[in-house]
């Protein structure tokens, strides 16, 4: 029985090999590849109207934009060109939202290379004065380092820590504390 089984397998294998490997069997060959035919684009049924851009759509040159910002530092800071960055409790890590805000700030700062800034590190009223001064310094430096990473010259940036000494919000709960855990931007030179 073994011999008959071996003979059957041998015969089946030979038959399959002869069918699959035949170079004269044209029915198994794939047709040659053809390049796709280009189809002409039909002409539009109605003419296309070209509308000139309005002044609000016109791209303004950098020189024009620089003329529009105030030259007075107080007025420049009051405009709010640079947005503050906020932190979690006892942290100086930059959140995704903070990095997005800093990217926008860096874009603006790169557009005005003559502007210098100071980054002020702030904390809420909890913890000791020494701890908050150190944490505020870490926050300001984390923001500075990220701006430098984004292409702002480090010579244009100063940092200082106020810890809990200059709160933005005067309350004694989380709604005030979250506003005080920040890095604040101040334009110092134009």
Is there a domain that residue 33 lies in?
Answer: no
* pLDDT, one tens digit for every residue, the chain (190 residues): 555 556 555 665 555 555 554 444 444 454 454 444 444 444 444 443 443 434 434 343 444 444 478 888 999 999 999 999 999 999 999 999 999 999 999 999 999 999 999 999 999 999 999 999 999 999 999 999 999 999 999 999 999 999 989 888 888 888 888 899 999 999 998 8
CATH of the domain at 80: 3.30.1330.60
Q: How far apart are CA 160 and CA 163, in angstroms?
A: 9
Is there a domain that residue 53 lies in?
Answer: no
What tokens does 41 get? 């684009």
Q: How far apart are CA 13 and CA 21, in angstroms?
A: 12
Per-residue pLDDT at 11: 60
Q: What is the tally of structural domains in the chain?
A: 1
> What range does the domain containing 108 cover?
75-189
Q: How far apart are CA 184 and CA 139, in angstroms?
A: 10
Is there a domain that residue 129 lies in?
Answer: yes
Q: How far apart are CA 30 and CA 83, in angstroms?
A: 64
Is there a domain that residue 27 lies in?
Answer: no
In order of 119, 182, 188, the CA distances from 98 in angstroms are 14, 10, 22
Is there a domain that residue 44 lies in?
Answer: no
């Amino acid at each position: 029985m073994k011999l008959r089984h071996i003979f059957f397998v041998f015969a089946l294998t030979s038959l399959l090999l002869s069918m699959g490997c035949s170079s004269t069997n044209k029915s198994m060959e794939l047709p040659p590849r053809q390049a796709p035919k280009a189809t002409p684009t039909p002409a539009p049924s109605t003419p296309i109207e070209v509308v000139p851009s309005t002044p609000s759509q016109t791209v303004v040159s950098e020189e024009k934009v620089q003329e529009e910002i105030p030259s007075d530092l107080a007025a420049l800071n009051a405009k709010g060109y640079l947005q503050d960055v906020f932190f979690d409790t006892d942290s100086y890590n930059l959140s995704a939202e903070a990095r997005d805000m800093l990217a926008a700030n860096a874009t603006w700062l790169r557009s005005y290379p003559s502007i210098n800034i100071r980054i002020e590190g702030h904390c809420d009223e909890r913890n000791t004065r020494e701890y908050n001064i150190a944490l505020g310094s870490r926050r300001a430096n984390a923001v500075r380092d990220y701006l430098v990473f984004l292409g702002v010259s480090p010579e244009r940036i100063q940092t200082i820590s106020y810890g809990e000494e200059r709160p933005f919000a005067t309350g004694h709960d989380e709604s005030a504390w979250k506003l005080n855990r920040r890095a604040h931007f101040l334009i110092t030179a134009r």
